[in-house]
Chain A
Amino acid sequence: MTDMRLSGAAVEDSHGTAPTSGKRWLKATLIGLHSQSRHSRTLAFRVPGWTGHAPGQHVDVRLTAADGYSAQRSYSLAEPSTTPDRVAITVDLLPHGEVSPYLVETMEIGDELDVRGPIGGWFTWTPGDPGIGPGPVLLVAGGSGVVPLMTMLLARKRAEDRTPTMLVYSLRGPRDLMYGRELSEMSVGRSGSRTESDPEVRLVYTRVVPETHPRPASHLRREDIALPSAWPAHLAARVFVCGSSSFVEHATGLLRAEGYPDDRIRTERFGPTGADR
């Protein structure tokens, strides 16, 4: 996801279940790269000493230049924690950014940086979370805000969790789609047709719509976040919203209109850019 500004809640809350490797910086070596969209890619690192993380948590990344100058950013972890010593992030390019151009365009396999974490514990969902009970769970993503929500979905799939779950993913157009393959696999299921245990995935294109897509281009609307009428509950037990500050403001306004009390909504905002919603 893009360079992030962490909310106070994300940093201060200590409900996280994952162990922490504390404030120690660990050396990370780039071992895997793949493109997500025209302007984003996923980077996987080998990090000896990384102790695992919960879906939705972050990692601090520190780059250091040869002259000693360094820059730090925080990114959502892009994969659930399964392999020891492994950290992945998905980074969206900010054209005039300082760190994201290096991560998206310059860094090559074998290059190194430092990481610290995991960080945060409020904006997390580990399958079986007793606070969520039988669900449902609603995930609302604006742009690269899909990254931590995708990590939650991947963890749910790996755990064969059956909590009814819907992802509403707002993006400008098809070129901006991240995790396209994983999302289409999830929404049609292994058998080729969607089963009850698969998440419901709704793509909300705000500017450019692919030809076969039924929904016209518009910003996120209230009907986009309404749970399928066949579901037993009208409202989700927990909603996670991640995107730019303006997207999160817009989405939480719709959620309140839909009847959600604030204590069911967890949000995460990133800045400074990103007006997509």
Chain B
Amino acid sequence: MTISRGFVGHHDPRAVDLPPGQHLTHGFPVLTAGPTQMIPTHEWSFTLASEDEVLRTWTWDDRAALPAEEISVDIHCVTRWTKLGTRWRGVSVDTLLAGVGSGLGYATVHSYGGYTTNLAVEDLTGGRAWLVHEYEGEPLEADHGGPARLLVPHLYLWKSAKWANRITLRRRDEPGFWETFGYHSHGDPWREERHAGD
């Protein structure tokens, strides 16, 4: 093997296409609209509701009793970094919504600290979204959204609400936190839906 003087490389042997305007990162940048929320698991709960009523509530132990899945995905932040092959463990949103059958097409995901983001229910279901509590085999740290966050890897990461504690199902799409500041309502990185009107 011949050493090429001055060659460093990206040290990622996988040749991959990135969404437009994205570049690879090997760290895991922390980007949050507000301060990190510190939620002890014995105080944590998660609620599924419609605009009219609470449908279900889970404590941490209730959540731990639900079937969990291993998830290995690339994640894309609107601030233009992409991280490849991240590994998570969590409960599919399909499991949380099972049997609800509300017919409501939209959702607002709420977080401890007041953050919200809006998604179509079809982006939350069909094996495309999870409530995750482990990252790379370890309990999810608070700065990355622990004890549990949403993970919707096919959309920009601002949709993957940290410290998620509630899903409210809605009839109409209501902009969340970043969406009211001009971010795109859908947020597909492959279509580069960064800002409203993209």
Contact = CB atoms under 8 A, between A and B. Distances in A.
A63 B9 contact: yes
A114 interface: yes
A113 interface: yes
B23 A96 contact: yes
Given A65-B7, A65-B9, A272 B1 contact: no
Interface string A36-74: 000000000000000000000000001111101111000
B17 A106 contact: no
A144 B4 CA distance: 24
A272 B13 contact: no
Interface in B1-15: 1-11, 13, 15
A107 to B, nearest CB: 7
A114 B10 contact: no
B5 A112 contact: yes
Contact of A271 (B7, B8, B17): B17
A112 B2 contact: yes
Contacts of B15: 5
A129 interface: no
Interface string A142-153: 000000000000
A258 interface: no
Q: How large is the interface on B (under 10, 10 to 19, 20 to 34, 35 or more residues)?
A: 10 to 19
Contacts of A69: 8-9, 11
Nearest to B24: A96
B17 A70 contact: no
Contacts of B7: 63-65, 71, 102, 106, 113
Given A63-B9, A69-B11, A98-B10, A111 B4 contact: yes
Contact of B9 (A70, A112, A272): A70
26 contacts: A5-B15, A25-B1, A62-B1, A62-B2, A63-B4, A63-B7, A63-B9, A64-B7, A65-B8, A68-B1, A69-B8, A69-B11, A70-B1, A70-B9, A71-B7, A98-B9, A99-B9, A102-B7, A107-B4, A108-B5, A111-B5, A111-B6, A112-B3, A112-B4, A113-B2, A271-B17
